Amino acid sequence: MSDAQGRPTQPDISAAGAPPATFSGDRGLALEEASIFALSRAGVTGVDLPEPKGVAPRLAGLERKGAIGLPGLSEPEVVRHFVRLSRRNYAIDLGVFPLGSCTMKHNPRLNEKMARLPGFADLHPLQPVSTVQGALGLIDSLAHWLKVLTGLPVIAMSPKAGAHGELCGMMAIRAAIDARGERRRRVLVPASAHGTNPATAAQCGFEVDEIAGDATGRVSAASVAERLGPDVAGIMLTNPNTCGLFEREVREIAARVHEAGGYFYCDGANFNALVGRVRPGDLGVDAMHINLHKTFSTPHGGGGPGAGPVAFSEALAPFAPRPWVVHGAAGFALVEAEGDAKGAKPFGRLTAFHGQMGMFVRALAYMMSHGGDGLRQVAEDAVLNANYVMACLKDAMSVPFAGPCMHEALFDDAFLEGTGVATLDFAKALIDEGYHPMTVYFPLVVHGAMLVEPTETESKESLDRFIASMRGLALAAKAGDAARFKGAPFYAPRRRLDETQAARKPVLVAAEASPRAAAE
């Protein structure tokens, strides 16, 4: 068979019927892989070390008696196992990762190279500070960049994720309120907030008071003012918000909250839309976490814990947690112990050590390689790319809020009405197109939400390919081709899993039987 230009075309498998079940369980180059424990064979090992002779145990009888149950495989089997698993993973190094609110941008290789320098990678957190002056200097430089970019005077470096940063910020707010001898326990949280916001507030002993957005998808100063009172500890506001929209009344909201004696916690997960353009300190923010794995390009997971430093205003600065880096006559030092710093009333500490060094190195490498002007362009290009996606898809899909967006484009499921296709089906069909789906059903304030965040690291060419898939799917749904959605994904290693069961009754023990037997 050939097309109009005479190029050979693929045979149409669907026309020929279902592809044959293979004897191996593999499908072409899509290889099945059992759990490493199912593959294990007794007595097999990848190392050959002589039994140590004449070494008396020094554990005073506490040494282990039995085997610890490590799987037995040869080295090539172990290598194949993990390479096979890695081929089933979708990654930012593989394709567009349009997961809204997550800022899945490229992780520059320069960052990785810097993080692997032995002077950073081989440090131990208990080394004497005289031997880690360079590392402390790096933490100090990173904090300096974050202070300049946020316009806030103090940064707590130790929190290890955005949600952990929220905890840090809200604990500081709680400490500040306690120090005033007040009992303010109500925290205002918009309905569009990320689930971690109300969860954090509740975790810190606050009562969550939800504020509805207005018809434009934003929070109005009037609706905030209505709820303020002497029992309000503050507000947790995301800007731009999770609908991808700038909160236009943010300064007035901050002023009202401050007048009422409360604090302004800003969820800084969407800082990618503002970095280099807007300083949150100028908007009246008292505390804001910064997800280094979002705005500053460090990897999301995979390499251990992340980092979510928190910026504080003068009002909250005294309550920032230990430790922090100071610079004195003898070089850099760490404030670690209670009473080490005059005037400070830290609420305690959040982590055993000083934060996530590998992520600090990567984030600073990113900042220094972009420079101030480059970081500003990051925000501009991120916003431009999201608006390009929205403009190209607006006529085929439907948008809940009119006007341009910030760094992410929000769609709802109105365009799917009457097609028999739901947002979930649409997301599954996108897997068949070779993409990780966008964020779905979030924010909760929009029916059947689809939140697309392309980030600035996608080229126009890759965006055009992604848009073509989205557009093709939208038109297919409207044309009545529900079958391609209801059965999707057709081309994934597994089809539709029972996600409710998986969440409610997770099977955390590797099954004895090989997944080949249990497949689908």
Ligand X SMILES: *Cc1c(COP(=O)(O)O)cnc(C)c1O
Contact present, 418 and 479 (Cβ < 8 Å): no
- Considering beta carbons, is residue 163 or 357 the nearer one to ligand X? 163
Contact present, 319 and 343 (Cβ < 8 Å): no
| Tokens standing for residue 470 | 């989205």
State the minimum distance, in angstroms, from the CB of residue 296 to ligand X.
12
Best CA proximity match to 435, nearest among 417, 412, 453: 453
- The residue type of 180 is R
Distance in angstroms (rounded) separating the CA atoms of residues 293 and 114 = 16
State the minimum distance, in angstroms, from the CB of residue 347 to ligand X.
20
> Residues 372-375: contacts with CB within 8 Å, 24+ apart?
372/276, 373/276, 375/149, 375/275, 375/276
- Considering beta carbons, is residue 66 or 301 the nearer one to ligand X? 301
Residue owning tokens 């499921």: 413
- Residue 503 CA: distances (Å) to CA of 85, 273, 434, 450, 507: 21, 32, 25, 21, 9
| Tokens standing for residue 178 | 């306690």
State the minimum distance, in angstroms, from the CB of residue 163 to ligand X.
3
The binding site for ligand X (CB under 6 A) comprises 101-102, 161-163, 194, 196, 238, 242, 267, 269, 291, 306, 308
Residue 71's Cβ-count burial label (10 Å; 0-12, 13-18, 19+) is middle
- Considering beta carbons, is residue 306 or 323 the nearer one to ligand X? 306
Distance in angstroms (rounded) separating the CA atoms of residues 156 and 317 = 9
- Considering beta carbons, is residue 102 or 132 the nearer one to ligand X? 102
State the minimum distance, in angstroms, from the CB of residue 249 to ligand X.
19
State the minimum distance, in angstroms, from the CB of residue 512 to ligand X.
35
- Considering beta carbons, is residue 158 or 238 the nearer one to ligand X? 238
Distance in angstroms (rounded) separating the CA atoms of residues 505 and 360 = 37
Distance in angstroms (rounded) separating the CA atoms of residues 258 and 283 = 12
- Considering beta carbons, is residue 98 or 308 the nearer one to ligand X? 308
| Tokens standing for residue 110 | 């320069």
State the minimum distance, in angstroms, from the CB of residue 102 to ligand X.
6
- Considering beta carbons, is residue 296 or 411 the nearer one to ligand X? 296
Distance in angstroms (rounded) separating the CA atoms of residues 186 and 170 = 12
Residue 249 phi, psi dihedral angles, 5° rounding: -100, 25
- Considering beta carbons, is residue 37 or 441 the nearer one to ligand X? 441
Question: What does the buried/exposed string (b/e) look like for 285-303 if buried means 16 or more CB atoms within 10 Å of the residue's CB?
Answer: bbbbbbbbbbbbbbbbeeb
State the minimum distance, in angstroms, from the CB of residue 281 to ligand X.
19
State the minimum distance, in angstroms, from the CB of residue 348 to ligand X.
20
State the minimum distance, in angstroms, from the CB of residue 217 to ligand X.
14
- Residue 119 CA: distances (Å) to CA of 17, 111, 114, 138, 145: 59, 14, 10, 11, 21
State the minimum distance, in angstroms, from the CB of residue 195 to ligand X.
8
State the minimum distance, in angstroms, from the CB of residue 140 to ligand X.
23
- Considering beta carbons, is residue 162 or 358 the nearer one to ligand X? 162
- Considering beta carbons, is residue 308 or 346 the nearer one to ligand X? 308
- Considering beta carbons, is residue 102 or 473 the nearer one to ligand X? 102
Residue owning tokens 């209801």: 486
Nearest residue to ligand X by CB is 162
- Considering beta carbons, is residue 242 or 398 the nearer one to ligand X? 242
Cα(first)–Cα(last) distance of the chain, in Å?
33
Distance in angstroms (rounded) separating the CA atoms of residues 109 and 486 = 39
The dihedral over CA atoms of 146, 151, 155, 161, expressed in degrees to the nearest 10, equals -60
| Tokens standing for residue 212 | 């509805």
- Considering beta carbons, is residue 269 or 325 the nearer one to ligand X? 269
State the minimum distance, in angstroms, from the CB of residue 442 to ligand X.
9
| Tokens standing for residue 301 | 């997971």
State the minimum distance, in angstroms, from the CB of residue 300 to ligand X.
8
